Amino acid sequence: MSSFKIITGTFLDGVAADVPSNNWDQSDWRKQFDIFKTMGLDTVIIIRVGFADSAMYKSPVMRPTIYEDDDLVELMFGEADRTGLKMYLGLYDSEEHWVKNDWDEEIKINRRLIDEMWQRYRGHPSFYGWYLCHEGSMEYHQTQIWKPLARIMRELDAHKKILVSPRYAGSKWSKERPISPEQHYKHFDYVFGEMQGLLDSAAFMDGHVAFRDLEAYVKVTHAVCQKHQIEFWSNLETFDRDMPMRFPPIEWIKLKHKLEVVQPYVSKIISFELPHFLSPFATYPAAHGLYKRYLDYVRKKGVSL
C-alpha cells in the first residue's frame, strides 16, 4: 500500500465570496459527492455558511438579503451522510466587523449562529467538527474571535473537532513586509499558546509564498504544531494566485510541487477547493484537465482509488 499522501479533504464554497458560484442544484452536488468518494476523500468542510449579505439558508441570526430557498447546508449534510464523509461546519463572515477589529460584534452574531446551527444540524451522523472561518493574519488578532467561539463549541460537544486554516504570510501576501519563516513560527507559537486545548487541527494555506520558499515555512509550522499538539494539515490551494485574474485552476506542475513538498511533514492534505478547481464538473474547463492529471499522477504513485 502506497504511503504517498493524497488530497483527502476539501472545502465547500456554498456562497460566492472571491470565487464565482457553480450554481449547482441537488443533482449536481450529488454527482460531486460521488466524485469525492472516487478520489479518496473522507472529509468535507463548509468554509462559511454566510458571507456579508448572503447565506446558504434563510437564517434568523444572519438575516441575509440573499439566500438559498432550500437549505444548502442541510443538502450538503445529507450528501455527507449518504457517502460516509465527515463534515466540518463553518460560520459567518460578516466582511464588516472583524476587518475593523470589531471582534465583539462578530462574536455576538456567531455565538447566536452556533446555537442556531446546533439545533438545526446536530442530528446528522456526518457532523464531525467545526471550522473557524475567520482566517485572520498578523494585523487581525485572530485569537480574539477564535477563543470565545471555540469555547462555546467545546461546551456544546467536547468530542467535535475544531479546525482552522491560517496562512503563510510570505512574499505573495505582502511584497513590502513579508513574514519570514522565523517570524511565522514565533507568531503561531503565541497564537497556539493562547488557544491551548481549543484547536485540534490547523490546515495552513500554501499560496502566499514563493514555491522555492514553501518548504522552509512548512518545516517551522510542523515544529510549532508538534510543540502545541495540534495536527498539522496542508491546505493545498488548487487555484492559481500567479495569474492576472482571480482565480483560475492551478497549473499542474505547481500542484505537483506543493503536493510533494508537504509529504514528510503533514498528517493530512485538504484543498480550497475541489468543486471549482479539481473536478470534471467544474465551471472551468482547465479544472477537468487538472482532475485527469492529478488522478493519473497519484495512481502512478501507487495509490489505489
**Average pLDDT of span 21-31:** 96
* pLDDT over threshold 80, residue 9: yes
Q: Strands (DSSP E) along the chain, which ranges?
A: 7-12, 43-51, 54-55, 66-67, 86-93, 127-131, 161-164, 201-205, 231-237, 268-272
Burial of 235 per CB tally in 10 Å (0-12, 13-18, 19+): buried
C-alpha cell at 122: 446536530
> 89-103, 108-122, 221-235: which range is least confident on average?
89-103
3-state per-residue secondary structure call for 206-220? CCCCCHHHHHHHHHH
Walk me through the domains of the chain, giving residue ranges and CATH numbers. 7-300 (3.20.20.80)
pLDDT of residue 98: 83
pLDDT of residue 175: 85
- Integer-rounded Cα radius of gyration of the chain: 18
Cis peptide bond upstream of 247, omega within 30:
yes
Mean pLDDT of the chain: 95
Span 38-64, pLDDT tens digits: 999 999 999 999 999 999 999 999 999
* pLDDT over threshold 80, residue 237: yes
* pLDDT over threshold 70, residue 17: yes
Q: Is 84 left (phi over 0), alpha (psi -120 to 50) or beta?
A: left
DSSP secondary structure of 25-51: -HHHHHHHHHHHHHTT--EEEEEEEEE
Instruction: Tell me which of 290 and 176 has the higher pLDDT.
Output: 290
pLDDT of residue 269: 98
C-alpha cell at 264: 514528510
pLDDT of residue 137: 67
CA-CA distance, 219 to 217, in Å (whole number)? 5
* pLDDT over threshold 90, residue 229: yes
Cis peptide bond upstream of 273, omega within 30:
yes
Q: What is the pTM of this model?
A: 0.96
CA-CA distance, 305 to 303, in Å (whole number)? 6
pLDDT of residue 1: 63
The number of C-alpha atoms within 13 Å of 282 and in the hemisphere containing its C-beta is: 25
Query: Which residue is listed with cell 493562547?
Result: 194
Confidence of residue 136 (pLDDT cuts 50, 70, 90): low
* pLDDT over threshold 80, residue 92: yes
